[in-house]
Structure 1
């Protein structure tokens, strides 16, 4: 995955504001930038390109970003911007009353309209993950987008939480993706953006059927991960929770190499494996690890674990803890690269 990094700290103090203004103007649209007189201006940004979309985590010292009618008249690339605020607060005005956004709220703006963004109005540093995407890439009408851009939305529940989880996971693991992953990731991002905007309009039915299908699949996958501990997590219960038939649920999983029940089992085994390998949980009995992962019957868990990882849960924990302390000579004497290999099933 192609990722670029920008830090004002790498530049002379006198050049920082201009360099950051130019960077923002290339990503979204030409803007004016104002910082507090005498302030220690610092900004960091990483940019991950997913086709036509840019995802960029950033850290901002207090500053103001403005897009004015003059700048719009000079150039309008018709870009939409969404920011997930992770830490700090952001003031915003765009043709309506002033608003203040806090952690895990979603703030949006449009390059075609004047706006003013106050990063850290209380003097605090702001962490955010932002997305810029051409307006034409979203499967919603121009009128619909005009009505929803600028509205306050949440990243703590519903499709907003799905988008927030996708963005934070993407930027935390950007190094593990390749350029071949970009088209798939772009599709997921555009689906989630469109779903967030359509949900804000209470108009999910206006999305293309394929986009709705992919978004529903993501919601179901998130639901399954959140309820792995529940032994009553069955295809029937999952379908009922999402108001679909079990046949519909199974069709959503047709492109996977396993069934719904098989995928649940894989996730539970992986969760148990992670807990068994965690030194901080070494005093948790194996049977309790199994229960927390969603296995009701310990013998069933043991058989499934041995089939998946080639050893019993107890042996796996013993080996993992030995590797953690560096005393497993069989797995540590070969080479540094051998030591970095994941354990079976990792």
Structure 2
């Protein structure tokens, strides 16, 4: 099936007498958990709480924007993770007030113009102050691991006030502003582009890698990204081009939680996705796009595309 796109908005005001305060707070906490993941949630000043949140989502990506009048605290424990695992990554941004994030043994205080990347498959505590506003972009784990390596660069505070960071912030705001004009494909493509930018910013905000293995991994990823459309690209050709042994390349990528063939397949699929969405390619057949993307047959391409995106190339183009 082609991707579907949903927009949901919730609003709560405990100063109103229309509904009992306890019912409103329970509704708010349950809906926020449904947007993200199971967790303990508590409003610290319930008597005058006002909250509003909007969730834009497809099967692959999600953007939640929110604003609250009084402090709120959220905690996800090992028990929550055991009963409701969720390996997706979150990129959290503060647009007003402050947000405290304790995750994987580190604590960050995010102020206006900062963001951080984290996963909800590790216990965390998150607290926001009065008159807080923020955004959380949810991204598939494979998209982050593919670019940064598994478990890399979590909790790194990122500056969103200038350069690439400012571009990310502006794009997130625009994605929310234009929420009712977007299609599922447009939302996914914009979110995928934002994922690329977040990863670039994360890499730029860290010190150059000191590990030789990490240096090799980065060069392998760069080589694959630049040559994925070549049907002859494989572990042997990568090793020859970079001057390392095949075993060394396989070992480095295994430590990063992936393989050469997986990286090659993902880059080819991303290129093919762009070609399917390009109106200039409407005359091209699925088979042509498959070969131009580096696949050796339309059958192999269609099978890989369905496994990765959840629908066929034809459905993607028709939608």
Aligned to 1:74: 83
Paired with 1:171 and 1:194, the residues of 2 have a C-alpha distance of 20
Paired with 2:59 and 2:222, the residues of 1 have a C-alpha distance of 20
Residue 141 (structure 2) pairs with residue 117 (structure 1): no
- Measured against aligned partners, the alpha-carbon deviations of 1:91-141 in whole angstroms (never above 9, x if no partner) come to 121233533211010033211111111110xxx211112111221233537
After superposition, the Cα gap between the structure-2 partners of 1:87 and 1:110, relative to the gap in structure 1 and judged at 3 Å, is same
After superposition, the Cα gap between the structure-2 partners of 1:96 and 1:139, relative to the gap in structure 1 and judged at 3 Å, is closer
Residue 27 (structure 2) pairs with residue 27 (structure 1): no
Larger Rg: 1
Paired with 1:126 and 1:209, the residues of 2 have a C-alpha distance of 43
TM-score by length of 2: 0.58
Aligned to 1:63: 72
SS at match of 1:138: helix
1:125-136 mapped onto 2 (5 Å cutoff): 125-136=131-142
What's the Cα RMSD here?
A: 3.1
Aligned to 1:222: none
1:291-302 mapped onto 2 (5 Å cutoff): none
- Measured against aligned partners, the alpha-carbon deviations of 1:306-339 in whole angstroms (never above 9, x if no partner) come to xxxxxxxxxxxxxxxxxxxxxxxxxxxxxxxxxx
1:277-288 mapped onto 2 (5 Å cutoff): none
Moved over 6 A (4+): 209-213
Pairwise CA distance, 1:50? 4.5
Q: Which runs of 5+ in 2 are unaligned?
A: 210-217, 228-277, 281-319
Match of 1:4 among 2, 8, 31: 8
**Do 2:103 and 2:125's aligned partners in 1 also have CA atoms closer than 8 Å?**
yes
Q: Which runs of 5+ in 1 are unaligned?
A: 214-254, 258-346
Paired with 1:189 and 1:211, the residues of 2 have a C-alpha distance of 17
Paired with 2:29 and 2:6, the residues of 1 have a C-alpha distance of 22
After superposition, the Cα gap between the structure-2 partners of 1:99 and 1:181, relative to the gap in structure 1 and judged at 3 Å, is closer
TM-score by length of 1: 0.54
1:302-317 mapped onto 2 (5 Å cutoff): none
Paired with 2:99 and 2:185, the residues of 1 have a C-alpha distance of 35
After superposition, the Cα gap between the structure-2 partners of 1:131 and 1:68, relative to the gap in structure 1 and judged at 3 Å, is same
**Do 2:90 and 2:117's aligned partners in 1 also have CA atoms closer than 8 Å?**
yes
